[in-house]
Structure 1
Amino acid sequence: MSKSKLAKPAFLLLAALLLILSVSACGNKSKSDELTAVKFSEVIRSIFYAPHYVAMSQGFFKAQGLNVDMNTAQGSDKGAAALIAGTADISLIGPETTIYVYNQKGGKTLKVFHQLTSKDGSFLLSREKLDNFKWSDLEGKTVIGWRPGSSPQMVLNSTLTKEKTSGVNVVTNIASTAMAGAFASGQGDFIQLFEPVASTLVKEGKAYYAASLGDTFGAYPETSYVATSDYIKAHQDVIRKFSNAVAEGTKWLNSASDDDIVKALKPYFDATPDDIILQSVQNYKKQGTWSTDPELTQEQFDTLQNVLVENGVLKAEDKVTKMDAVVDMSFVGNIGKSD
């Protein structure tokens, strides 16, 4: 038999294999192309938002057909600006931003569609160990706090009012990324921090836990998923799927093993030791941070507006009287339901 006759079947077999590989590659590409891109902005990077990172690492967003591109805004004001400018589709920010934007009567309005956290996520740390901390211990002391008008700053201020504590010097002009460094270098007697930075300072022996602002102040809708009214109207399916994925992340976090939780969060906190990641999650679980019902209720909304008025960033006459002007809980009400 000639060499050409022997080579022909081998050539046909090779061609068939190449065709299969080509079809397979095309199939994978089209499946990837089916994912809807979502530009997402988080206010800061914190384990306070663990359910979101779980939804990303465990593939809950992709299972819903979404490809979430995440960046960190470093402030609710910046996250809200990104929505208005169109550089973000969805932002995880303080719900008070929706009220501010609404009262500006501009061309766009923002709406909360999913309430992620139901407590403040900051912890008060002291430079010296205090066995029985009392809020009166802050009198005459300096606290490194958050920027004016931010949720943690307002919650601290309202807590001081609630606890009838006066004469406290709260520093509010240090960037959030520089706060821990400033305290470690000797500035301030106390500091207000989120996890995992709080647990990191404690582990390093540079600070001691004094109090949980979440436990002390009580229920407070600190961080919400927000989008423009226009985006929500035009992309209802995206909002529904996004809300479903986050809810799945919260559910998973409440039942997963310690090892699995650390593995899920590690990609977003690669410089944080495993024990600190776990300690941070446990601290937030202990205070009931992540509700399995991510609804922003009327009672929570009223609490929010009362805090804004108490802190002088909202006039009483400028309160939003109809919550649905800045809140849309219809997607939360349909979590888990099929099309």
Structure 2
Amino acid sequence: MRIRFTLWITLFIASLLVFAITACTPKKNVEKIRLSEVTRSIFYTPQYVALEKGFFTDEGLDVDLKTAWGGDKAMTALLSNSVDIALVGAETSIYVYTQGTNDPIINFAQLTQTDGTFLVAREKTEEFNWEQLKGAVFLGQRTGGMPQMVGEYVLKKHGIDPHHDLSLIQSIDFGNVPNAFASGTGDYVQLFEPTASIFEQEGIGHIVASFGEESGQVPYTTFMAKQSFLKEKPETIEKFVRGIYRGEQWVQNNEPKVIAEVVAPYFDDIDADTIAMVIERYKKQESFATNLLLTRDGWNHLQLMMKEANELSEEVPYETLVNTKMIDKVMKE
């Protein structure tokens, strides 16, 4: 009986010691970061991996992700200080700068380095040729947005004037474009995944070309913040970049099916096989940025597309709106 009592006392004292040590151990400071993404998309897979795998948590960051459902809304949230960081098209930072601002929006890392849309045809053809679009009804994207500018750039590359050689529809809201095509509007449509693949599976349309492959590398979707925020919290941005970089590296080093299992919670209405198929397609055309570094060539290519779409009032130097210090440091670690 005395042995049992002694054992109980020993265990009790040990538990008190463990509690005391735990209580006295200083907790790692956790900093909250408010992040706004332009939309919810498999196109942003490395970001969801970083969240789901705890890469931000490892850096002491609590990232609160909100979906803006529109580039203008994401930028408005950033400008009004409702969020700290925005994931949106790099062109939006140029629009803000050319309109005049004392606190410019700085691009500090890119998540995607190609366009993420595909050309979907209503009718299936044995062999697709861009000439087939001439005279057709083309359901495009919002004027001034990256999808539409890339779309026009690719059409012109193939000798098609988007405003004269076909009937271009741009009046439909981004979220309603797929429904419009499914309802019978247009001969061709420019769509993101997974909608493009789902339409193909359901026989609504057929993927005939990739705008990402046709347009080449461009800082399509980037992480950006106010210049003042970067100056006030450079270490915070560095931690954020490190988390995203780990997410990107993990995506590069794992198979689509494995990646799909990790990001599935962010896409409740899409089955795992479709998610994996889309990820594989984006990996194959190198849409996910391989190192997050927004290059000078990419920046110049972006402005060329904007200029050809008549959306660039003045060119903005690379150094003015791009800061690569954080990603340079992280990549050298």
Post-superposition CA distance 1:29-78 (Å, at most 9, x none): 945xx221010011111111111111111111111111111111122222
The residue aligned with 1:4 is: none
| Residues 120, 214 of structure 1: 8 Å contact kept | yes
Give the whole-Å Cα distance in 1 for the aligned partners of 2:38 and 2:25: 34
> Match of 1:229, as an amino acid?
Q
- 309 and 275 in structure 1: CA distance in 2 versus 1, 3 angstrom threshold: same
The residue aligned with 2:71 is: 76
Give the whole-Å Cα distance in 1 for the aligned partners of 2:26 and 2:178: 45
Unpaired runs of at least 5, structure 1 = 1-6
Is 1:90 aligned to residue 85 of structure 2?
Answer: yes
Pick which of 277-286 and 12-21 moved more: 12-21
Within the candidate set 94, 102, 118, 2:97 is matched to: 102
> Match of 1:95, as an amino acid?
A
| Residues 143, 171 of structure 1: 8 Å contact kept | yes
- 118 and 258 in structure 1: CA distance in 2 versus 1, 3 angstrom threshold: closer
Give the whole-Å Cα distance in 2 for the aligned partners of 1:28 and 1:311: 58
| Residues 247, 292 of structure 1: 8 Å contact kept | no
Question: What is the correspondence of 1:263-278 to structure 2 with a 5 Å cutoff?
Answer: 263-278=261-276
Question: What is the correspondence of 1:131-146 to structure 2 with a 5 Å cutoff?
Answer: 131-146=126-141
Pick which of 233-242 and 168-177 moved more: 168-177
SS in 1 for 2:112: coil
Give the whole-Å Cα distance in 2 for the aligned partners of 1:51 and 1:172: 30
The residue aligned with 1:280 is: 278
Pick which of 119-128 and 198-207 moved more: 198-207
The residue aligned with 1:319 is: 315
Shift of 1:190: 1.4
Shift of 1:177: 2.0
| Residues 84, 108 of structure 1: 8 Å contact kept | no
Give the whole-Å Cα distance in 2 for the aligned partners of 1:56 and 1:176: 26
Question: What is the correspondence of 1:107-146 to structure 2 with a 5 Å cutoff?
Answer: 107-146=102-141
SS in 2 for 1:38: strand
Give the whole-Å Cα distance in 1 for the aligned partners of 2:305 and 2:83: 27
Give the whole-Å Cα distance in 1 for the aligned partners of 2:92 and 2:180: 28
- 258 and 323 in structure 1: CA distance in 2 versus 1, 3 angstrom threshold: closer
- 241 and 137 in structure 1: CA distance in 2 versus 1, 3 angstrom threshold: same
Unpaired runs of at least 5, structure 2 = none
Percent identity of equivalent pairs:
36
Pick which of 251-260 and 87-96 moved more: 251-260
Is 1:196 aligned to residue 194 of structure 2?
Answer: yes
Q: How many residues align?
A: 328
Give the whole-Å Cα distance in 1 for the aligned partners of 2:61 and 2:128: 46
| Residues 218, 298 of structure 2: 8 Å contact kept | yes
Give the whole-Å Cα distance in 2 for the aligned partners of 1:336 and 1:220: 20
SS in 1 for 2:254: coil
The CA RMSD measured in Å over matched residues stands at 2.5
Shift of 1:261: 0.8
- Give the TM-score taking structure 1 as reference length: 0.89
- 208 and 17 in structure 1: CA distance in 2 versus 1, 3 angstrom threshold: same
- 164 and 262 in structure 1: CA distance in 2 versus 1, 3 angstrom threshold: same
- 84 and 27 in structure 1: CA distance in 2 versus 1, 3 angstrom threshold: farther
Give the whole-Å Cα distance in 2 for the aligned partners of 1:195 and 1:35: 35
Pick which of 284-293 and 221-230 moved more: 284-293
Give the whole-Å Cα distance in 2 for the aligned partners of 1:250 and 1:27: 36
